[in-house]
Chain A
Amino acid sequence: MALNILVVDDSATTRTMVARTLAMGGVPIGQVHQASNGREGLDTLDRERIDIVFVDINMPVMNGIEMIDTLRQKPELAAMPIVVISTESSETRIDEVRRKGVEFIHKPFTPERVHEVMQSLLGEFQHADTEADARF
């Protein structure tokens, strides 16, 4: 199963770096959609089938935490796997983010860290598939 990804970051450079890192990771990637702030990210989620969201915190218009909170209130998106990629280093803020049930990757990020998180999420996908199969 190829995963469709949404990368939300106000830096086009970071969006490209994340997309390129994912493409090299050995995990089957389908389409990579991009958005430059939380509002655009939510609009993309309304239009496209997305499997995993990568999102920055500090962004204009709508920041990453506001986007995650809005997204979690939508029943159809409440369980969406989310990875925050941010320069944020405050343990207070990182704990706040993790309590929302998201993975956290610190900038500057290495490809190894991104792949590690993807493998972890992929394991969750496979576990969910296995559980779904077992129900039939």
Chain B
Amino acid sequence: MQIQKPMPVSEQTLTEVAQQVLEVMAFAFVAPGDRRGDPATVCMHATVRFSGPFSGDVRLSLPQAIVPALVSNMLGDDEGCIPTERQQYDAVGELASVMCGNLVQILAGPEPVFTLRSPAVIVGTAASVRQAAASVTSATVRLDESWAELTLSLEA
């Protein structure tokens, strides 16, 4: 397979993808922003690995405290109904998967085909996820009273 270099990725591109997906799928109020919580905040991190003309992964990090409300919005559950842990893992993984699919095509152009793996979801502090990739770009959006972070790692 011919190795293709992706278009340069900007924080704005990541912001736009995160914003669109969170607004459409989770009916969240999202705005560009750089407000981050305490690095010790416990988050859900969903990582989706992709391969194609270039490879890497996309990671969505959300403070764990806001995940139940987001997932309730996605599932259309009545207020006060807390999603199960399994539903929360699945929903955050699906958000990351949709963001990944949209993002790689923006970077590659309309033609190339990519394969996306199933999302891997873990819970931990922001400091617990490390990047070893050659190129890493992150963007943070304001999400209601909290935040979300989308990170793209490209392999050399």
- In the assembled complex, the CB of A29 is this many whole angstroms from the nearest CB of chain B, namely 15
Cβ-neighbour of B105 out of A12, A60, A90 (below 8 A): A90
- In the assembled complex, the CB of A25 is this many whole angstroms from the nearest CB of chain B, namely 14
Cβ-neighbour of A87 out of B20, B100, B113, B118 (below 8 A): B100
Query: Residues of A contacting B115 with CB < 8 Å?
Result: 58
Task: Please name the residue on chain B nearest to A14 by beta carbon.
Answer: B94
B40 interface residue, CB < 8 Å from A? no
User: Is the CB–CB distance between A17 and B74 below 8 Å?
Assistant: yes
User: Is the CB–CB distance between A20 and B101 below 8 Å?
Assistant: no
Q: Which of B66-104 contact A (CB under 8 A)?
A: 71, 74-76, 86-87, 90-91, 93-94, 97-98, 100-102, 104
A73 interface residue, CB < 8 Å from B? no
User: Is the CB–CB distance between A10 and B118 below 8 Å?
Assistant: yes
A100 interface residue, CB < 8 Å from B? no
A86 and B20 CA atoms in complex are apart in Å by 16
A93 and B111 CA atoms in complex are apart in Å by 8
- In the assembled complex, the CB of B128 is this many whole angstroms from the nearest CB of chain A, namely 24
User: Is the CB–CB distance between A108 and B21 below 8 Å?
Assistant: yes
Digitize A89-126: 1 where CB-to-B-CB distance is under 8 Å, 0 elsewhere: 11111000000000000011110000000000000000
A13 and B87 CA atoms in complex are apart in Å by 7
B110 interface residue, CB < 8 Å from A? yes
User: Is the CB–CB distance between A89 and B102 below 8 Å?
Assistant: yes
Query: Residues of B contacting A70 with CB < 8 Å?
Result: none
Query: Residues of A contacting B104 with CB < 8 Å?
Result: 89
Q: Which of B98-141 contact A (CB under 8 A)?
A: 98, 100-102, 104-105, 110-116, 118
User: Is the CB–CB distance between A107 and B98 below 8 Å?
Assistant: yes
Q: Which residues in B have some Cβ–Cβ distance to A below 8 Å?
A: 20-21, 24-25, 71, 74-76, 86-87, 90-91, 93-94, 97-98, 100-102, 104-105, 110-116, 118
Give 30 pairs: A residue, B residue, CB < 8 Å, sorted on A.
A10-B118, A11-B94, A11-B97, A12-B86, A13-B71, A13-B91, A17-B25, A17-B74, A58-B97, A58-B101, A58-B115, A58-B118, A87-B97, A87-B101, A87-B102, A87-B116, A88-B101, A89-B101, A89-B110, A90-B105, A90-B110, A90-B112, A91-B111, A92-B111, A92-B112, A92-B113, A93-B113, A107-B101, A108-B25, A108-B98
- The 5 A-B residue pairs with the shortest CB-CB distance, nearest first, are A87-B101, A89-B105, A108-B24, A11-B94, A13-B91
